[in-house]
Amino acid sequence: MTVGHSTEPKLRVKGATKVYHTRSGDLLAIDRCSLDILDGEIVSIVGPSGCGKTTLLWSMSGLHGLTAGEVLLDGKQITGPNPGIGMVFQEANLLPWRNVDSNINFPFEIKGTKPDRVWIDELLNRVGLEGFGGRFPRELSGGMQQRAALVRALSYKPSVLLMDEPFGALDAFTREEMNRLVEEIWLDTRTTIVLITHSIDEAIFLADRVVVMSPRPGRVANIHKVSFSRPRSLEIMSTKAVFDLTNAIKMEIVGTQQSRYPSRATSVQPVAE
């Protein structure tokens, strides 16, 4: 075992399996998912809704445990919330009774540490929220709220950033702007990013690798490499390579779904006579 530092994965998911015990019976959300994420890599996870993407991400964050398998951060097993991991949730998830500054201070209040004001001001500047520290979430647009949430997640310099459909609620233009912003910040910080998304475009634009998951129970169905140089421009999205990749991923997601619901396939057949 002479694995060099550069090839040691930042985050290693080994046989992750999660069963939810619900009133209507046990539910196998993810089944033996294995995935290595390298240091400084951006990995997107796509898949049909309800395939367990969020479950997988929450397992990585330590927010909930696994029924079987394990997640390792820098070789150490994750057993609970970890200060090295930042989380961006669906919607901004800002606390509505706190203004932007106070929301950004929230993680430090919980951890009992001092915020790095210089770094936070730099982040606020970067996302274009300088001077908005006193504003309350309801006074901000959806995009601004999500940018504030991004600053909050990066404020304590996590080495891994987990993003759970972060821009799903935003309009297409704001979303593209946010994607460029994420890449820009990544170029500065080289933070390892795992991004869950419903948008294949977003997945390809941001990621070094796109992981496609199968329908529930979620398994890693395929992994696509995306090797455009950075910073990427929106033009790459209209190249043949991206077009083919988008279609391939779409077919993988739709294809697996159709095999799961055969009745849907028959219902589109033309009616005789």
Partner 1 sequence: MREIDAIPEFKAKRGADGDVGITNMSALTSGPGIKSMSEVLAIILVAVVIIGGTELLLNIFEVPQYVLPKPSEMAKALFTEFPLIAPHLGHTLVELFAGFAIGASVGLILAAVITQFPFVEKIVTPYILLLVTTPMLALVPLLILRFGFGYEPRIIAVALAAGPMVMINAATGFRRVDAGKIALARSYGASTFQIFWKVRAPMALPMIFVGLMVGSIFGLLTAVGAEMVGGGFGLGNRLTSYSSMIQMPQFFAVVLILSILGILIYVLFFLLGKKFASWEA
Would you tell me which residues interact with partner 1 (CB under 8 A)? 20, 22, 24, 27, 29, 49-50, 52, 54-55, 58, 61, 63-64, 80-81, 83, 85, 87, 89-97, 106-107, 109-111, 136-138, 145, 216
Smallest separation (angstroms) from partner 1 to the CB of 251: 20
Smallest separation (angstroms) from partner 1 to the CB of 91: 6
Residue 15 contacts residue 69 (beta carbons within 8 Å):
yes
**CA 93/CA 150 separation, integer angstroms:** 10
Q: Which is nearer to partner 1, 44 or 99 (CB)?
A: 99
DSSP type of residue 86 = E
Q: Which is nearer to partner 1, 137 or 143 (CB)?
A: 137
Smallest separation (angstroms) from partner 1 to the CB of 270: 28
**Residue 127 falls in which region: left (phi positive, over 0), alpha (psi -120 to 50) or beta:** alpha
Q: Which is nearer to partner 1, 55 or 179 (CB)?
A: 55
Q: Which is nearer to partner 1, 81 or 231 (CB)?
A: 81
CB atoms within 10 A of CB 79: 10
Helices and strands: H and E segment counts in the chain: 8, 10
Instruction: Tell me: cis bond preceding 231? Omega within 30 of 0 counts.
Output: yes
Smallest separation (angstroms) from partner 1 to the CB of 104: 12
